Amino acid sequence: MHLSLTDNVAWAFGAALETLLLLLALRRGLYRRFPFFTLYVALVVLSEPVLWFVYNKGQGHLRLIFVAYYLIQCILLLARGGVVAEICRDLLSPYPGIWKVCRGCLLTIAVILLAFAAAAAYRTGASTAVATGERGLELVVVGVLLFAVAFCRYYEIVPDQVTAFLALGLGLYSAIQVANNTLIFEWLLPYVGWWQKVRQLSYPVVVFIWLFALRNPLPEARPAPALLDAGVYDEFVPQVNMRLRELNARLQEILK
Amino acid sequence: MNFSILLYVGLSLAVFVALALMLRRMRAAKAQPPTHAEAPHEPFAVHCRHFPQIRQVLSPDDAAFIAQRFSAPARRQWRAERRRVLRHYLAGLKEDFAGLERLARTVAVLSPQVTQSLEAERLWLGVRFRFLYTLALLQLATGFAGVPEFQRLTDLLGGFAAQVEAGMAALETRPAAPGGGFSA
């Protein structure tokens, strides 16, 4: 495999952006609030020269390139999983009651999607199993983030700018990977080169989003919300639910 | 078309939309500080209190009077107007429902412990109410819902409003837990 001058320039540009992001993350002290995200960016930065070396020096050793690429992807995906968990925790954990409930739901969703990914990878042929598995794992990232955002919307929790942009970047990248791995095998095989460019370009776009998120010093940590007495929920919410049930029944009567 | 393609592409689109919504919401919140730590505005059922006027709109006496005195086009206009008023009233009831639901969500968010089954039930009830509300709107557009049904619905919301107001009063007088209360 030979990289052209354009490929090398694009690679160097991407690596420079990622390094800039890591430096900015360290400068802003992001590791205190998002240690997994900082670790993930550090792993990305470290993986770039390794991959570049393998691509350039491993000419004629496609298997070596394949193993190196997917091994690194596997490590990065695990780190991304950690980042997703971190984002969910940052969004919902200040509210201990609903965090306990949402955490269980998000874990269940992750397990279901993981099982779906494993089954999909198992069903497909050996040649596409790795890409199918990768797609499934990216889908876990997308699915969990999506539900975390849905919970925030339902409970009217407003995320701060940094968390929102980190989630946006991560979701965007995973969504592109999912679409990429799906479409490429179904419809776009003749355009594989073009689509690969989309894939390569998507990461610098995401890095720009994260750089934008870190353009200012991190905001002060929000004070923990003042919580109600534990008995208020038990006293109030069952009554509300009962009334809402009745209200639904009446509305249904109107429709009869 | 392959089901998995639809699923994957659909989910990809959904994440774009959801994250964009989150960002929009965040921007809106920046302009207007979050209201989470405060009690929601007008959480009590207010629209259902206008039921006497609605009863008048629905009165069969009015219908008989109009039928005797007015031409067919005027009667049609009157019926259309009546449907419009009822649609607005139904929308008001929906607002009442949403306000009360929101109050319950606020209590859940600010509670140290919540019950999964109650949360799931309220979520389901909200979905169901919105579905039934849409059906009721369709019924209004095509036919007509009678006064007694509307009255029962209104009485229910009115009773609920009183109960919530009493609950809120109890919350305000309750000795706060360490750092407790609605205001952060």
For A213, nearest residue in chain B (alpha carbons) = B23
| Structure confidence by residue, pLDDT tens digits, A107-165 | 999 999 999 888 888 887 666 777 778 888 888 998 999 999 999 999 989 888 899 99
This complex has an ipTM of 0.77
A positions 88-127 inside 8 Å of B (CB): 95-98, 100-101, 104, 120
Q: Which of A126, A253, A188, A119 is nearest to B156 (CA)?
A: A253
For residue A67, the model assigns a pLDDT of 85
Average pLDDT over residues A197-205: 77
Average pLDDT of the segment spanning A219-247: 81
The pLDDT tens digits for A182-191 are 776 666 556 5
pLDDT tier, B33 (very low <50, low <70, confident <90, very high otherwise): very low
Exposure string of B61-85, with b = 16+ CB inside 10 Å and e = fewer, is eeeeeeeeeeeeeeeeeeeeebbee
Is some CB atom of chain A closer than 8 A to the CB atom of B67? no
| Residue that wins the pLDDT comparison between B57 and B102 | B102
| Least confident window among A51-60, A76-85, A136-145, A244-253 | A244-253
Length of chain A (residues)? 256
Q: What is the pLDDT of residues B15-30, one digit of tens each?
A: 667 667 766 766 666 5
Q: What are B40's two structure tokens?
A: 């929601």
- Chain A residues with CB-CB distance to B111 below 8 A: 97, 227-228, 230, 232-233
Predicted TM-score of the model (pTM): 0.74
Q: How many domains does chain A have?
A: 1
The share of chain A scoring above pLDDT 90, in percent, equals 37
Binned at pLDDT 50, 70 and 90, residue A47 comes out as very high
Q: In which band, very low, low, confident or very high, does the pLDDT at B163 lie, cut at 50, 70 and 90?
A: low
Q: For B25, which of A158, A171, A179 is closest by C-beta distance?
A: A158
| Structural domain of A79 | 5-218
Provide the shortest C-alpha distance from residue B129 to chain A (in Å). 6
What count of CB pairs under 8 Å joins A to B? 227
A245 CB within 8 Å of a chain B CB? yes
**Is A244 within the bounds of a domain?**
no
A137-146 burial code (b ≥16 CB/10 A, e <16): bbbbbbbbbb
In one-letter notation, the amino acid at residue B120 is: A
Q: Report which of residues A240 and A191 the model is more confident about.
A: A240
**CA pair distance B103, A243, nearest whole angstrom:** 13
* Token pair 């505005």 in the structure block, residue: B41
Measure CB to CB from residue A226 to each of B104, B107, B179 and give the nearest one.
B179
CB A181 within 8 A of CB A135: yes
Residues of B in contact with A171 (CB under 8 A): 15-16, 18-19
* pLDDT at residue A89 in the model: 94
Query: Does A237 reside within a domain?
Result: no
Residues 6+ apart with CB under 8 A from A46: none
Give a yes or no: residue A78 inside a domain. yes
Shortest Cα distance, chain B CAs vs residue A85, angstroms: 16
pLDDT of residue B164: 63
The pLDDT of residue B153 is above 80: no
The answer to the question of residue A153 being in a domain is yes
Does some domain include residue A241? no
Residue A239 resides in a domain: no
Residues 161 through 180 of chain A touching chain B, CB cutoff 8 Å: 161, 164-165, 167-168, 171-172, 174-176, 178-179
Q: List the domain boundaries for chain B.
A: 1-34, 37-171
- Residue A191 counted as domain residue: yes
Instruction: Please state the separation of Cα B163 from the chain's center in Å.
Output: 17
Q: Which of B107, B76, B93 is nearest to B150 (CA)?
A: B93
